[in-house]
Amino acid sequence: MATQAPTPIAIREAFELLKIGVTKGYELVGNGELRTYCIGDRRFTTTEALAELVAKCEAEATAARATETARDARRRFRRTSRHPGPNPEDKDEPRAAKGAPSIESPASKQGIPRSGTSKRNG
């Protein structure tokens, strides 16, 4: 059996086939995610290298979806297992009656206006 030689593709054509820009394409080449080789001054890749890259990206997307699905399931579980809400007996009580400190300043208790709030004569 004769083995079929890999089909060479110019690197810019490969970027067009992948529908990515030149910057992203060379980033993939620099990271080693897209295998390339040079002949003279020209850089090439193969259809097999493109297929490997696409398969890797699909596998990562599938794994991300599975992770997201598991995360959503945990969130749904947390949402349903939480405390149902505030105690209905506390509903009509004012906050101060529960012992919360008053926010009033000593000046407002004495009837002294705060700075910037006095009325101008005129």
Q: Picking from 10-19, 29-38, 86-95, which range would have the lowest pLDDT averaged per residue?
A: 86-95
pLDDT for 39:
93
pTM over the 0.85 mark: no
Q: How far is CA 23 from CA 20, 39, 101, in A?
A: 8, 21, 60
47-81 and 11-18 helices, crossing angle to 10°: 30
Tokens 């004012």 sit on residue: 94
- The domain segmentation of the chain, as residue ranges, is 8-80
Task: Check pLDDT > 80 for residue 33.
Answer: yes
The angle formed by the CA atoms of residues 104, 108 and 110, to the nearest 5 degrees, is 125
CA 24, CA 21: separation in Å to the nearest integer? 5
